[in-house]
């Protein structure tokens, strides 16, 4: 059977259950900034009656902390109920559609909307009534003008929205380009950092190998003869730069290992209670320094005279004061001489005006001009009165009709009134029919125009999208062609580089093969020569022993004359032929040297010519490839 849980009602009656606060009335926390606080001497006060536990107050100031923010608990502003008086429409009720967050607080757009609503209400108040048939044309003209203004205002709003959308689109494009540039820069920086790290690693490796090689060379240089030296313990301990006092870590010694074992751990230095105990052990003058007021400086001797230093200070102060007064002294202006002052010359008085007497003819002309001005002013006033009468002619006629006193005139007016009313009824009926027809036609025209404008706006949007997509496609195609051209160029360069590397590899393999064969041949020949030499030496030694035995026997038997004959035969049979052989070899070597030099010149000349041709062909291939790419790009642009 499933257990049924009651509604938690977090925001209602059970709200207090979802908040917590600490309640520790007996906790006594020490302040965090009390370390070695100096004790202050205070007068002795008697303790309170109960000091075992602190007094518990009956009231607490409690602060709660919720899981919600103030912005989440904020509600919409309160809107009180209202009652509208009869036959009155307050202007404030026109803003009832605006709510908090949707129009309120009012901004510039809402203020403009309120001003337009006021203008429209004022315009509606100036409209002629529908019962007045004579003002019907005027009402229609006013309504048409207002409709045109509203359409113009709507067009302006649409243009503003389009401009805002364009600005937003531009900002988005700029933001996208900026983000793309940032991503590219991050990639480049990452690649550059990787290359730099690899470079630094290579340099560090080279440096380490260099240092180790230098160290080995220095070690070998110290012991060139290769003698073994025993360790001199006395020298090592007398030199503080030796391995005994400062062993190198590359030799496997790390003297700083387990250094935390030597750290001093003391209760008095690591805990607050220990520090308090240390503070209590300190003398009083350390925690409570005594400051003594300085004694006044004595400037007189025991006999009551001023000391020389005090007198010198006083004189220096007077000199300093005099210098300051002289420096800050303001120069007084020079007084002018009493008898050389310039006296002002009075200005001459202006001439006395005189009235010229005019002749009788001038007076007549002036009077005629004044009379003509009076006539013109009167005519202007008369024209103004006539224009006012023409403007208020209907009011004058209405006053005349209302104030008519004769009975006949009343009857005539009544008959005219009935006739006019009949004409008005007929005219109203006719205009009503015409208005119905016009309304029907206007509705049809409005539907057709709305459909047409909708179709045109959709076609315009479609055409713009099509042009934009076409532009994007052209840009993508152009970028693709540029990338293909770059890729083809890189591919050709890579292929040429691969061919060069293949040729180099083949040549290197040939050289290695030839060196290996020559090395093996040299080894085989050397071994053959060594074995032959050893065998020949053994045979020669064997024959020498035999010959020596024979020679010793002959030496014991022969005389002096036989010895000289033997030496002469050896010289003739060994030394002379050897000298002749060496001279012949030198002549042959001199004769062959000319042919060898000529052969070397011919070979090197042909190889240099071939190398120059190959280099020129490679440069020509690269130039032709670049020309082809440049020719293909405009051709592709023309095709696109």
Per-residue pLDDT of 336-346, as tens digits, reads: 655 556 677 77
As a whole number, mean pLDDT of residues 455-465 equals 89
Residue range 365-385: mean pLDDT, rounded: 88
Question: Is a pLDDT exceeding 80 seen at residue 332?
Answer: no
Range in 335-339, 435-439, 490-494 the model is least confident about: 335-339
Q: How far apart are the first and last CA of the chain?
A: 76
Least confident among 84-88, 129-133, 449-453: 84-88
Residue that has been written with the tokens 């509705």 in this structure: 443
Q: In angstroms, rounded to a whole number, what is the distance separating the alpha carbons of residues 140 and 343? A: 88
325 pLDDT higher than 90: no
**Model pLDDT for residues 569-581, shown as the tens digit of each residue:** 777 777 777 778 8
Q: What is the spatial distance between Cα 520 and Cα 36, in angstroms, rounded to a whole number?
A: 89
187: pLDDT strictly greater than 90: yes
Residue 81 has pLDDT above 70, yes or no: yes
46 pLDDT higher than 50? no
> 30-34, 92-96, 116-120, 185-189 — which one is most confidently predicted on average?
185-189
The DSSP result for 585-604, as a single string, is HHHHHHHHHHHHHHHHHHHH
SS3 373: helix
Per-residue model confidence (pLDDT) at position 291 = 75
| Token pair belonging to 243 | 């391995």
The more confident residue out of 137 and 358 is 137
Considering only residues 619 and 274, tell me which one the structure prediction assigns the higher pLDDT.
274
Torsion of CA 166, 168, 172, 178, to 10 degrees: 100
Kindly state the average pLDDT of the residues 630-636. Answer: 58
Q: Which of 163-177, 364-378, 422-436, 542-556 has the highest mean predicted lDDT (pLDDT)?
A: 163-177
104 DSSP β-pair partners: 100
Please give the Cα distance from 502 to 508 (Å, whole number): 10
pLDDT for 28 beyond 90: no
pLDDT above 90 for 304: no
Residue 204's pLDDT band, with cuts at 50, 70 and 90, is very high
Calpha distance 499→525 (Å, rounded): 38
Whether 42 shows a pLDDT value over 50: the answer reads: no
pLDDT at 344: 74
Q: Is the peptide bond before 105 cis (omega within 30 degrees of 0)?
A: yes
Note the pLDDT of residue 335.
64
pLDDT band at 41 (very low <50, low <70, confident <90, very high): very low
How far apart are the C-alpha atoms of 140 and 133, rounded to whole Å? 11
As a whole number of angstroms, the distance between CA 367 and CA 379 comes to 19
Greater confidence (23 vs 165) lies with 165
Positive or negative, the CA dihedral 157, 159, 165, 171 is negative
Q: Is the pLDDT of residue 243 over 50?
A: yes
Distance CA 562, CA 554 (A): 10
Highest mean pLDDT range out of 31-45, 193-207, 304-318?
Answer: 193-207
Place of tokens 């001439």: 351
C-alpha distances out from residue 420 to 36, 407, 424, Å: 114, 20, 6
- pLDDT value for 434: 87
pLDDT digits (tens, 9 = 90+) for 586-628: 888 888 777 777 777 777 777 777 777 777 777 777 666 666 6
**Residue 64: closest CA among 26, 93, 23:** 23
Predicted pLDDT at 428: 86
Dig out the tokens for 443 from the structure: 């509705």
User: Across the chain, what does the average pLDDT equal?
Assistant: 78
- Cβ(106)–Cβ(98) under 8 Å? yes
Mean pLDDT in residue range 447-454: 85
User: How much is the average pLDDT of 393-406?
Assistant: 67
Question: For residue 232, is pLDDT > 70?
Answer: yes
Q: Which of 273-282, 474-483, 498-507, 625-634 has the lowest mean pLDDT?
A: 625-634
Residues 559-567, mean pLDDT to the nearest whole number: 74
Beta-carbon contacts of residue 446 (< 8 Å; ≥ 6 apart): none
Measured CA to CA in angstroms, residue 385 lies from 373, 376, 379, 388, 461 at distances of 19, 14, 10, 5, 62
DSSP per residue, 553-569: HHHHH--HHHHHHHHHH
Mean pLDDT on 553-580: 74
Average pLDDT over residues 464-478: 89
Lowest-pLDDT choice from 81-85, 354-358, 390-394, 435-439: 354-358
| Cα–Cα distance, 127 to 147 (Å, whole number) | 14
Q: Quick one: what percent of the chain has pLDDT higher than 90?
A: 9
| Sign, Cα dihedral of 134, 140, 143, 148 | negative
Q: Has residue 401 got a pLDDT over 70?
A: no
Say which residue, 525 or 560, is predicted with more confidence: 525
322 token code pair: 């005099």
- What is the Cα–Cα distance from 169 to 162, expressed in whole angstroms? 10
pLDDT score at 265: 77
**In this structure, is the dihedral angle defined by the CA atoms of residues 208, 210, 211 and 213, taken in order, positive or negative?**
positive
3-class DSSP state for residue 237?
helix
Q: Which residues, at least 6 apart from 116, have a Cβ–Cβ distance to it below 8 Å?
A: 153
């Amino acid at each position: 059977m499933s257990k049924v849980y009651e509604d938690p009602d977090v925001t209602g009656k059970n709200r207090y259950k979802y908040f917590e606060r600490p309640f520790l009335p007996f906790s006594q926390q020490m302040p965090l900034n009390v370390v070695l606080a100096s004790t202050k001497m205070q007068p002795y006060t008697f303790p309170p009656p109960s000091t075992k536990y602190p007094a518990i107050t009956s009231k607490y100031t409690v602060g709660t902390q919720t899981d919600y923010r103030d912005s989440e608990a904020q509600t919409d502003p309160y809107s009180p109920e209202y009652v509208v008086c009869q036959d009155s429409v307050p202007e404030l009720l026109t803003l009832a559609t605006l709510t908090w967050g949707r129009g309120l607080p009012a901004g510039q757009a809402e203020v403009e909307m309120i001003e337009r609503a006021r203008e429209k209400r004022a315009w509606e108040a100036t409209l002629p009534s529908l019962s007045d048939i004579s003002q019907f044309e005027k009402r229609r003209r006013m309504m048409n003008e207002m409709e045109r203004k509203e359409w113009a205002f709507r067009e302006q709003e649409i243009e503003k929205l389009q401009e805002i959308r364009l600005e937003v689109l531009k900002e988005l494009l700029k933001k996208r380009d900026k983000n793309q540039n940032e991503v590219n820069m991050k990639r480049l920086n990452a690649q550059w950092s990787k290359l730099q790290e690899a470079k630094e690693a290579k340099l560090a490796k080279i440096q380490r190998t260099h240092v180790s090689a230098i160290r080995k060379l220095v070690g070998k240089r110290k012991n060139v003869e290769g003698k073994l030296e025993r360790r001199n313990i006395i020298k090592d301990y007398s030199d503080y730069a030796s391995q005994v006092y400062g062993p190198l870590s590359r030799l496997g010694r790390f003297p700083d290992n387990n250094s935390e074992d030597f750290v001093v751990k003391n209760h008095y230095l690591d805990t607050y209670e220990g520090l308090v105990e240390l503070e209590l052990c300190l003398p009083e003058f350390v925690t409570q320094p005594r400051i003594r007021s300085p004694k006044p400086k004595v400037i007189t001797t025991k006999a009551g005279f001023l000391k020389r230093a005090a007198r010198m200070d006083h004189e220096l102060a007077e000199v300093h004061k005099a210098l300051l007064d002289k420096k800050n002294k303001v120069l007084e202006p020079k007084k002018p001489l009493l008898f050389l002052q310039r006296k002002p010359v009075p200005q001459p008085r202006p001439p006395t005006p005189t009235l010229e007497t005019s002749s009788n003819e001038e007076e007549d002309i002036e009077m005629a001009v004044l009379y003509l001005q009076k006539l013109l002013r009167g005519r202007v006033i008369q024209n103004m009165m006539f224009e006012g009468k023409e403007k208020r002619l209907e009011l004058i006629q209405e006053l005349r009709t209302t104030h008519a006193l004769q009975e006949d005139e009343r009857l005539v007016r009544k008959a005219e009134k009935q006739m006019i009313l009949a004409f008005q009824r007929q005219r109203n009926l006719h205009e009503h029919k015409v208005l119905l027809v016009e309304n029907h036609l206007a509705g049809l025209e409005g539907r057709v125009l709305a459909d047409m404008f909708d179709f045109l706006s959709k076609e315009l949007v479609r055409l713009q999208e099509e042009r934009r997509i076409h532009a994007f496609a052209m840009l993508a195609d152009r970028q693709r062609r540029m990338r293909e051209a770059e890729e083809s160029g890189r591919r050709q360069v890579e292929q040429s580089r691969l061919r060069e590397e293949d040729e180099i590899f083949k040549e290197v393999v040939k050289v290695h093969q030839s060196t290996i064969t020559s090395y093996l041949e040299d080894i085989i020949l050397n071994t053959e020569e060594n074995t032959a030499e050893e065998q020949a030496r053994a045979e020669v030694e064997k024959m020498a022993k035999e010959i020596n035995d024979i020679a010793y026997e002959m030496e014991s038997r022969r005389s002096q004359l036989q010895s000289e004959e033997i030496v002469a035969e050896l010289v003739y049979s060994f030394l002379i032929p050897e000298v002749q052989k060496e001279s012949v070899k030198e002549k042959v070597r001199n004769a062959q040297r000319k042919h060898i030099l000529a052969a070397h010149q011919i070979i090197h000349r042909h190889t240099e010519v071939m190398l120059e041709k190959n280099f020129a062909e490679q440069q020509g291939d690269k130039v032709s490839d670049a020309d082809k790419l440049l020719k293909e790009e405009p051709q592709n642009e023309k095709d696109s």
